[in-house]
Amino acid sequence: MLANIDLAYWLPVIFAGLMVVSMFAYVILDGYDLGVGILLELEKDTSEKDKMIASIGPFWDANETWLVLGVGLLLVAFPLAHGIILGELYLPVALMLLGLILRGVAFDFRVKAKAHHQAMWNTLFFVGSLLAAVSQGVMLGRYITGFAEGWGAWGFAMLVGLSLAAAYALLGAGWLMIKSTGSLQMRAVRWAQFSLGFAALATVLVSVATPWISPRVFALWFSVPNVFLLAPVPIFTAVLFAVIAYSLPRIAARQAQGNDRWCWLPFAATVGIVLLAFFGLVFSIFPHLVIDQLTIWQAASSTEALSIILAGAAIVLPTIFGYTIYSYRVFWGKAGELSYQ
Amino acid sequence: MSPDVASSLLDPIVLARIQFAANITFHILFPTISIAMGWILLFFKLRFNATGDQKWQEAYGFWVKIFALTFALGVVSGITMSFQFGTNWPGYMQTVGNIAGPLLAYEVLTAFFLEATFLGIMLFGQKKVSNRVHTFATLLVAGGTTLSAFWIIVLNSWMQTPTGFEMINGQAHVTSWLEVIFNPSMPYRLTHMLLASGLTAAFLVAGISAYRWFIGQRTNAVLAAMKTGVALAAILIPLQILVGDMHGLNTFKHQPAKIAAIEGIWETERGAPLLLFALPNAETRSNDFAIGIPKVTSLILTHELNGEIRGLNEFAEHPPVAKVFWSFRVMVGVGMLMLLTSWLAAWQLRRTNTLSPLVNKVLIGMTFSGWVATVAGWYVTEIGRQPWLVQGVLLTKDAASHVGSGMILSTLLMYLALYVFLLISYVSVVFYLAKKAGQPAGEH
């Protein structure tokens, strides 16, 4: 039975799948903590800022690891594509790394630095988060257009960059609604309303611009019967946006009475939107790694190397899921003051 | 600046190498501390569990903050590395990806997630989980960082002494994973690196504790940490000298050109002297102002007074001599200082349970001495492999990307500025934390 399976065909598919899963995990997980970083600038009260950071304290490090796994899989499973893609994305990658470094260290420095330096580290945390979010979006935008040159393509990439920052802010606000209480929770609802508009606008613009820029994607989505089969994707996305918009004022009203039910709904709905966006993206690109240039099979490592990695991944990935869930359970519930206790 | 130097500085390969060197130099500073610091924290924790003495809990509480800070810097600079393989050296993965890929994948899969996830519990979970789980989380973080070091050193050793593969159409394919992992230099390199980490962390702990002692924080917790650091350093340094010597013999066998550069030997000779000082001159292919002890290098490397050492002139390709020669001497010199300081401090602490003012100040001065020795040693290893990226398999210049110089130069300047800023911040925050630890809670 197993001997009949064409490993040279399936291993690259499996690794492409794992890569999508880890990128999705990254966008959701680091997305919310980058979002909290972006929202940090909107909060003026220092102790409220501390609470915001406390809500992501135990998690941000592990969250970022998904990026290392995603890029690592690209590196180890598709070395040819890794070189091409990261070579093309040299500048946004460098800026993203700058952002991630700044926020990563600011997170730690801000609680340890002298009081009069704290404001600087808070600002760097915000700047780093925003820079990382926007450059990731720019990378995505550059990638979607197949690294096309010219003002139009770069303008589009900037647009995607801002969209992603808005989506992260929405995730971050949703996260804070779950993890906080009182006035911070109320403010999180306001921030969600604010970023919701931006995220929705950005989603529409990106959805229109992508097929407009790539004829292949246009043909893929707007041919019969695909146009009908795929219709649920934009429809469900719109429904989820509507659910968030409808629920936010009601959650605010309920919270005012001390009722915390449904506080998780905006976050869950945002995860759904990101999931749909991922589906749309993967559907548009697969089986290419570099659009219209390089397929997953052309870029893959040798079957032997992939088998070795897969054997390890099959044991380790479930373990990672296990202890990630354990860690979230340990820190379940509202975030308190962050202390090394 | 002469036009020659200016044009070579704009050479994209030179720039890419400088950028990569800057990144690994910055990166290695932090794992070097955190690998061993994880175990030191576990030691504090276990001492507290066993004795119930509050001083161990206090020591844990103080050092876990420094650990967290160090870990954060290690993670973010490590992420930079994983991207730069692709941005700066695309030819690397294209040629040896079938070997480097699985090793890097195993590093991320087995170590990275483990330490990153349990770090959260270790740092912020003391009140949320039982003491036993918290101890276990500390153990997992320490084990994770060490496992991480294991995979990275395996890959680096393989790049130095590659075995267990065959080349097919310009790509390396594995013939034996056992030979890849247990390549000839791996055991020496791994032990040498782990001991280096132990020494770096030991001197950091001893140095910061000595600083706290110096400014008047004469508590049991500070003394306990200082004794731990000093004892660890005093035990590890002779081991390191022994392992370093064995590592040198291994290098002599597998990478003779690197040894010739380390020792500054141009012509093959018998009874080669140990050069204490020299200015290796690549133009005349000889040393200026050489001062040496006759026959000692031959004795160390061949265990015979008149043993033959092959000179650089025998190798068509050899590393840049002066950089390797001097990096090696900096490493050994700092090692000697470590030996003297740690033994003197250990002797004093044993006799009088305190330090003389002079030794106290020397310890403070040597707080980051481990960094100097580690970075110098790392340069010996990495520059000593040039012009190869993978010894005998892939030349560094063949792995470089075609990104323009302007782009590399501007990002290089950005990274350099960032690293200087972060390094200053790191060192000053570590000392600030030490100073703040003495104030009663609530005042800061």
Q: Which residues of A touch B112 (CB under 8 A)?
A: 65, 68-69
* The predicted structure's pLDDT at residue B1: 46
User: A261 CA to chain B: closest CA distance, Å?
Assistant: 24
Tokens of B417: 């500025």
Residue B392: CB atoms within 10 Å:
10
Residues of B in contact with A114 (CB under 8 A): 432
What is the Cα–Cα distance from A309 to A313, expressed in whole angstroms? 6
- Interface check for A90 against chain B (CB to CB < 8 A): the answer is yes
Q: Report the pLDDT value the prediction gives residue B32, as an integer from 0 to 100.
A: 93
CA angle B200, B118, B202 (to 5 degrees): 15
Taking CB atoms and an 8 Å limit, are A105 and B418 in contact across chains?
A: no
Q: Using CB atoms, which residue from B98, B119, B129 is nearest to A61?
A: B119
Closest-CA distance, B319 to chain A, in angstroms, reads 27
Dist CA A304 CA B180 (whole Å): 14
The predicted pLDDT at position B199 comes to 95
List the alpha helices (DSSP H) in chain A: 7-39, 46-56, 60-77, 79-88, 90-112, 115-144, 151-179, 182-213, 215-221, 226-229, 232-256, 265-285, 296-299, 303-330
Residues 383-402 of B with CB under 8 A from A: 401-402
Candidate from A68, A102, A327 with C-beta closest to B79? A68
Do the bridges between strand B286-293 and strand B394-395 make them parallel or antiparallel, or are there none, so unpaired?
unpaired
Chain A contacts of B68, Cβ < 8 Å? 108, 340
pLDDT at position A3: 59
Residues in chain A within 8 Å Cβ distance of B118: 323, 327
Percent of chain A predicted with pLDDT > 90: 7
Instruction: Estimate the crossing angle of helix B131-160 against helix B12-51, to 10 degrees.
Output: 150
CA distances from B353 to B59, B169, B220, B226, B227 (A): 18, 66, 11, 11, 9
Q: Which residues of A touch B415 (CB under 8 A)?
A: 94
* Phi, psi for B389 (deg, rounded to 5): -90, -45
**Which tokens in the block code for residue B73?**
């810097």
Looking up tokens 């000179």 gives B311
Q: Does B82 touch chain A (CB under 8 A)?
A: yes
Residues of B whose CB is below 8 A from A87: 86-87, 90, 401-403
Cα angle A314-A275-B116, degrees, rounded to a multiple of 5: 50
H/E stretch holding B167: strand B165-168
Is A249 part of the contact surface with chain B (CB cutoff 8 Å)? Answer: no
**Angle formed at CA B408 by CA B402 and CA B411, multiple of 5 degrees:** 145
CA–CA gap between residue A150 and residue A213 (Å, rounded): 12
pTM: 0.81
Kindly determine whether residue B414 and residue A65, on different chains, have CB atoms separated by under 8 Å.
no
Residue partners of B324: CB distance under 8 A and separation at least 6: B258, B261, B262, B379, B380, B383, B384
| Phi-psi map region of B401: left, alpha, beta (phi>0 left; psi -120 to 50 alpha) | beta
On whether any CB of chain A is under 8 Å from the CB of B277, the answer is no
Q: Does A94 touch chain B (CB under 8 A)?
A: yes
Pairwise CB contact (< 8 Å): B87 & A86: yes
Residue B415's closest chain A neighbor by CA? A98
The answer to whether residues B369 and B336 touch, using CB atoms and an 8 Å cutoff, is no
Q: Which of A128, A41, A136 is nearest to B421 (CA)?
A: A128
Spans in chain B with pLDDT lower than 50: 1, 442-444
Interface test with B, best of A29, A56, A69, A76 (most B CBs within 10 A): A76
Contact between B226 and B359 under an 8 Å Cβ cutoff? The reply is: no
Q: What is the pLDDT of residue A341?
A: 46
- Is the reported ipTM for this assembly greater than 0.85? no
What is the Rg, in whole angstroms, of the alpha carbon atoms belonging to chain B?
Answer: 23
Q: Which of A301, A323, A324 sits opposite B101 (nearest CB)?
A: A301
Return the bridge partners of B171, or none.
Answer: B168
What token pair was written down for B409? 């130069």
Tell me the chain B residues in contact with residue A305 when contact means C-beta distances shorter than 8 Å: 97-99, 101-102, 174
Give contacts of B 194-253 with A, CB under 8 A: none
β partners of residue B288: B279
Q: Report the DSSP beta bridge partners of residue B308.
A: B270
Q: At what angle do helices A60-77 and B113-124 cross, to 10 degrees?
A: 180
**Contact call for residues B91 and B399 (beta carbons, < 8 A):** yes
Give tens-digit pLDDT for B214-252: 888 888 888 899 999 999 999 999 999 889 888 888 888
- B297/B306 Cα distance (integer angstroms): 10
Residues of B in contact with A85 (CB under 8 A): 86
Instruction: Report the residue of A66, A308, A326 to disrupt the B interface, i.e. the one with the largest count of B CBs within 10 Å.
Output: A308
The answer to whether A64 faces chain B, any CB pair under 8 Å, is yes
User: If 0-12 CB within 10 Å is exposed, 13-18 middle and 19+ buried, where does residue A47 land?
Assistant: exposed
Instruction: Please list the alpha-helical segments (H only) found in B185-255.
Output: 186-214, 220-254
Answer yes or no: do B120 and A309 touch at CB < 8 A: no
Please answer yes or no on whether B109 and A313 come within 8 Å at the CB atom: yes
B101 to A309: CB separation less than 8 angstroms, yes or no: yes
Q: What are phi and psi of A67, to 5 degrees?
A: -65, -45
Residue of A nearest to B128 (CA): A330
Tell me the three state secondary structure of residue A217: helix
Mean pLDDT of chain A, nearest integer: 82
Chain A nearest C-alpha distance from B155 (Å): 13
Q: A313 — contact with chain B (CB < 8 Å)?
A: yes
Nearest CA in chain B to A118: B429
Non-local (6+) Cβ contacts of A137 within 8 A are A157, A160, A161, A162, A163, A164, A165
Token pair in block for residue B375: 């970075």
- Report B:425-444 residues touching A (Cβ under 8 A): 425, 429, 432-433, 444
- What pLDDT shows up at residue A203? 81
Q: Are B138 and B47 in contact (CB under 8 A)?
A: no
C-alpha A18, offset from chain centre: 16
Closest CA to B158 of B385, B3, B421: B385
When CB atoms are compared, the residue of B90, B113, B414 closest to A98 is B414
SS (H, E, C) B331-376: HHHHHHHHHHHHHHHHHHHHHHCCCCHHHHHHHHHCCCHHHHHHHH
Partner A, chain B 90-149, Cβ-Cβ below 8 Å = 90-91, 93-94, 97-102, 104-106, 108-110, 112-114, 116-121, 123-129
For chain A (341 residues), the mean pLDDT of every run of 10, in chain order, is 71 88 89 90 80 80 79 82 81 86 79 74 90 92 84 86 90 86 80 85 80 77 78 85 84 76 81 85 81 82 82 79 78 64 46
Q: How far apart are CA A145 and CA A329, in angstroms?
A: 41
